[in-house]
Amino acid sequence: MFLQIRALLLVFLATHALGATYSQTDSFVGSSFLSGFSFQAISDPTHGRVNYVNAATASSQNLTFASSDHFVVRADFKNVLSSSGPGRNSVRLQSNKRFTTSVAVFNVRHMPQGCGTWPALWTVGSDWPNQGEIDILEGVNDQGVNQATLHTNSGCTMPSSRSQTGTSTGNNCDVAATNNAGCGVRMNDSRSYGPTFNNNGGGWFAMERTSSYIKVWFWSRQATGIPSDVLNGATSINTGNWGTPTAYFPNNSCPISSKFGAHNIIINLTFCGDWAGSVYGSSGCPSSCVDYVNNNPSAFSNAYFDFAWLKVYG
């Protein structure tokens, strides 16, 4: 009997190490986002034209809104800004818990859109970049498609050829060597970002992290073959049935366990800054980024996230 139990335990551990079967540890739906995340009223590390507000301000200005199965995070879309004053009011949320080996699945109905916008769903360690960063959803100025990216210190690179459906934008994850570009993978599904994502009713983003690899998937709401455990937000999931990931970051030449520490989940929307601002002139958007963000509040009426849920598995 002991040998049988030991054999079953070894099979379970081996399966989990391969990142196949996980059980739900956290579920954020509606108001539970407000209890599971904290507002970060901080200066924007990416130098955006943004003013991250605290919980009280977000509530009073209706920048966050929770109902039974909606959690909305948005930017101010009512006020013209003074050029000498702070940036546009917006929200940056950080999960209260940290995660290592895990799977995070985001069910998103709507993401922020508009010229000058830079929305992101990502995870990060407390000592950046030494504990790493994983960008799951990120883009700027409505210029799809979505990009998943790793940011690390030196000594983390990716093979040029690997099993993924996306297209690599670079294989050195070292922020110092790449001017903070990291090693990105652009998704080939036009529905993965911006107005096209929203017009198709949104979809699911998933990130699996183990000591052997990091994987990111995307399924549009209109896609066929969405895994049933993703579609239903099941309490148990099997990533082995999810097919080829959109982005695949193996540990061949990147020791993931030493490059990535315990991570918080971040939800944020900034404007202009290091990325959206630097490519604004080539994005087909009017004026300059800062002037546009300052003077066109109504342009940001669609600059909001609407989450059906976020579930974490371990």
- Terminal CA-CA length for the chain: 28
Spatial separation of the C-alpha atoms in residues 249 and 172, rounded to whole Å: 11
Buried b (16+ CB within 10 A) or exposed e, 142-157: bbbbbbbbbbbbeebb
CB count in 10 Å sphere of residue 3: 7
Assess contact for 256 and 215: CB atoms under 8 A: no
- What are the C-alpha distances in Å from 242 to residues 207, 268, 300? 11, 27, 35
Instruction: Please confirm, yes or no, whether 138 is among the known catalytic residues.
Output: yes
Residue type, 278: S
- The residue assigned the tokens 């990533």 is 239
Assess contact for 266 and 124: CB atoms under 8 A: yes
- What tokens appear for 276 in the block? 């959206």
- The residue assigned the tokens 């994005």 is 283
Spatial separation of the C-alpha atoms in residues 66 and 85, rounded to whole Å: 30
Spatial separation of the C-alpha atoms in residues 280 and 300, rounded to whole Å: 16
Coil/strand/helix, residue 61: coil
Q: State the catalytic residue, choosing from 138, 157, 178, 302.
A: 138
Q: State the catalytic residue, choosing from 26, 44, 133, 306.
A: 133
- Under DSSP, the state recorded for 174 is B
Residue type, 276: A
User: Which of 122, 49, 4 minimizes the C-alpha distance to 288?
Assistant: 49
Spatial separation of the C-alpha atoms in residues 123 and 101, rounded to whole Å: 12
Instruction: Please confirm, yes or no, whether 133 is among the known catalytic residues.
Output: yes
Which of the residues are catalytic?
133, 138
